[in-house]
Amino acid sequence: MNIKPILFAALRVVLYAIPVAISALIIKSDAGVIVDGMKFSESSSTEWMQEIYLLLTSMVFIAAGIVSKKHKAISYLMGGGALVALIREWDAYFDQIYHGAWLPFAVVILLITIVLVYKKRDQLLENLEDFFNTPAFGTFIAGFLCVFVFSRLFGTKKVWRAVFEVGQLEPMQRWVKNAVEEGSELFGYTLLFIAAIEFFVFVKRKVKNKIAE
């Protein structure tokens, strides 16, 4: 019996538990911090960690394209997509220029991403097939749905007005809503980061195996 795959799987669980635990501890820390009269504000550690994970996700996907020139299309696609999401998360800072100032910056990154992917369009279908057949894809989908579907729907005021049976949320009730919404987002971004690492490891192995041949 080959025990190496089991040990490798166990190691992955332990290693991936680290960013998950960090996310949970940051949420716990923010629960006791009031900034600008509220908890889990745009300048909270939870928000900052979301942005750090997005930046790391982009960097790891781009690194996968550097390691394997045959995976540049998906590298640009995923890395650029994460950067667009990062700019959207920075909307509070861009709003200091003018309301909605994040949009043109995001559009520029999006257009650059589209151009780069188009230049490597001959790789795209094969890259996507590779991605769809890795553990990274399942983790990526879970993270994506957690951030862009679950947290958005679960964080609506209507849900929390029903939970507290009130017509208008009081400050402390809004803090609970913010904690759940931002915490769900952070966990989703953690999963996206893990997915990026999974794909990087897959690409590195593929390159290594090809060299070995």
pTM: 0.92
* pLDDT tens for each residue of the chain, 213 residues long: 678 878 888 888 899 999 999 999 999 999 888 877 788 888 889 999 999 999 999 999 999 999 999 999 999 999 999 999 999 988 888 888 888 889 999 999 999 999 999 999 999 999 999 999 998 999 999 999 999 999 999 888 888 899 888 888 888 888 888 899 999 999 999 999 999 999 999 999 888 876 644
pLDDT of residue 213: 44
Alpha-carbon span 19 to 139, nearest angstrom = 14
Token pair belonging to 22: 């960090």
pLDDT at 2: 74
Give the model's pLDDT for residue 1: 67
Q: Do the beta carbons of residue 155 and residue 180 sit within 8 Å?
A: yes
- The two tokens of residue 81 are 């997509």
Other Cβ atoms less than 10 A from the Cβ of 2: the count is 6
Structure tokens at 38: 């509220």
CB 213 within 8 A of CB 76: no
Residue ranges covered by each domain of the chain? 39-212
What is the total residue count of the chain?
213
